[in-house]
């Protein structure tokens, strides 16, 4: 496709930045529009330096601002929608999550119709499928299994509704008479340099004598490296632009994993940080069943106090379920339809992530040094 253009929402985020870096290598791409609510000064500088043959336009705007979305979509060929509120701890108000993740997606789809954008790729989540219970066991799951999360927690619920809206929009008639084609990608837990969850885990350990917080010793998961998730988005847009591949991709969703070993969250965090002296928490913890019901009671207390006081429990049923389930998925369908193969091996991904973890440790040490006059 000659002289095409691409809009990336959530462009300043952990995944959005990586997608933009890969997009800059695509042939015949004349412009990338990077949309986010705000760009940090260092990110503006980074994007400015990346700009070479391809024009990179930074747009600051809200995903709920209809005029902004219509302007952003004008003369665009592909939309990659990564913008989302990711919250598993109950830190964000439910309605805010629903507004951004569901209503924002619906408004963006409508803007695509108005601006006659033919390709829409949605960054969904494995949480659309589950786990719905810590007792549920899925190993090397695949797209043909009828899995759907029954959790009422706002994040998985909102992602499920948004994904359904995106896939239902496949085949919509555009304003110019063309057709909208959509697909959704469901990554596993995403790790890598800049990961907000991994950063929080490491920093918490550094503030607690090097003891890593236990995030899931009973889980079995297959995390996916951010560079491989970004690569899957590039392959999805290529497939939807290819008349030979597009029919098998339109209206489909894909699990995106890679060759990262299946392991618990605790073991995974330890493998990336043990070189820097961080260690697992060996203290006694509540049995899983009891922890789940304590979470329920804490949520009830939070609800009862909500009219007069905002209480955020240290954990909830959603986090207990997520961090203690056996839930792994294969990327065979993406391999078949998108020609997806991880761009980074486990060893490469591990090395890059460890180097970044090392930088967090060094930064923490610098803050502890006494300041001299």
Catalytic residue set: 159
CB distance 302 to 311 below 8 Å: yes
CB distance 190 to 127 below 8 Å: no
Under DSSP, the state recorded for 329 is E
**What is the DSSP code string of 125-164?**
-GGGT--S-TT-EEEEE-TTS--------HHHHHHHHHHH
Q: Which of 127, 152, 162, 143 is nearest to 9 (CA)?
A: 162
DSSP bridge pairs for 173? 179
| Cβ count within 10 A of residue 139 | 12
- Chain-centre distance of CA 344, in angstroms? 18
**What's the rounded Cα separation, in Å, for the pair 365 and 373?**
19
Q: Which of 156, 155, 154, 149 is nearest to 134 (CA)?
A: 149
Q: Tell how many helices (H) and how many strands (E) occur in the chain.
A: 14, 14
Cite the DSSP H helix spans in the chain.
14-23, 41-50, 66-73, 94-98, 104-115, 154-168, 196-206, 226-241, 246-249, 265-273, 288-305, 317-322, 332-338, 346-368
Cite the DSSP H helix spans in 251-287.
265-273
**Residue 57: both structure tokens together:** 């336009």
Longest dimension (CA), the chain: 70
């Amino acid at each position: 496709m000659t002289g095409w253009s691409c809009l990336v929402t959530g462009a300043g985020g952990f995944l959005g930045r990586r997608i933009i870096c890969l997009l800059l290598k695509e042939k015949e791409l004349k412009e990338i529009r990077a949309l986010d609510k705000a760009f940090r000064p260092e990110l503006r500088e980074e994007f400015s330096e990346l700009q070479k043959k391809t024009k990179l336009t930074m747009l600051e705007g809200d995903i709920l601002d209809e005029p902004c979305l219509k302007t952003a979509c004008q003369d665009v060929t592909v939309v990659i929608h990564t913008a989302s509120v990711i919250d598993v701890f109950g830190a964000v108000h439910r309605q805010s999550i629903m507004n951004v993740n569901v209503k924002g997606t619906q408004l963006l789809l409508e803007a695509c119709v108005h601006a006659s954008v033919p390709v829409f790729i949605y960054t969904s989540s494995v949480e659309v499928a589950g786990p719905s219970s810590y007792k549920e066991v899925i190993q090397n799951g695949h797209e043909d299994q009828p899995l759907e999360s029954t959790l009422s927690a706002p994040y998985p619920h909102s992602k499920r509704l948004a994904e359904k809206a995106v896939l239902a929009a496949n085949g919509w008639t555009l304003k110019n008479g063309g057709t909208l084609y959509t697909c959704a990608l469901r990554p596993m837990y995403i790790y890598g340099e800049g990961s907000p969850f991994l950063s929080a885990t490491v920093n918490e350990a550094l503030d607690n004598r090097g003891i890593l917080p236990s995030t899931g010793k009973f889980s079995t998961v297959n995390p996916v490296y951010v560079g491989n998730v970004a690569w899957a988005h590039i392959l999805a847009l290529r497939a939807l632009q290819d008349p030979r591949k597009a029919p098998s991709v339109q209206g489909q969703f894909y699990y995106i994993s890679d060759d990262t070993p299946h392991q618990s969250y605790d073991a995974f965090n330890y493998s990336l940080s043990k070189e820097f002296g961080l260690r697992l928490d060996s203290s006694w913890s509540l049995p899983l069943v009891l922890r789940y019901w304590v979470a329920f009671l804490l949520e009830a207390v939070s609800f009862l106090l909500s009219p007069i006081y905002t209480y955020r429990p240290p954990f909830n049923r959603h986090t207990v379920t997520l961090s203690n389930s056996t839930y792994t998925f294969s990327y065979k369908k993406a391999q078949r339809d998108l020609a997806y193969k991880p761009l980074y091996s486990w060893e490469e991904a591990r090395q890059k992530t460890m180097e970044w973890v090392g930088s967090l440790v060094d930064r923490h040490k610098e803050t502890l040094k006494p300041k001299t006059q």
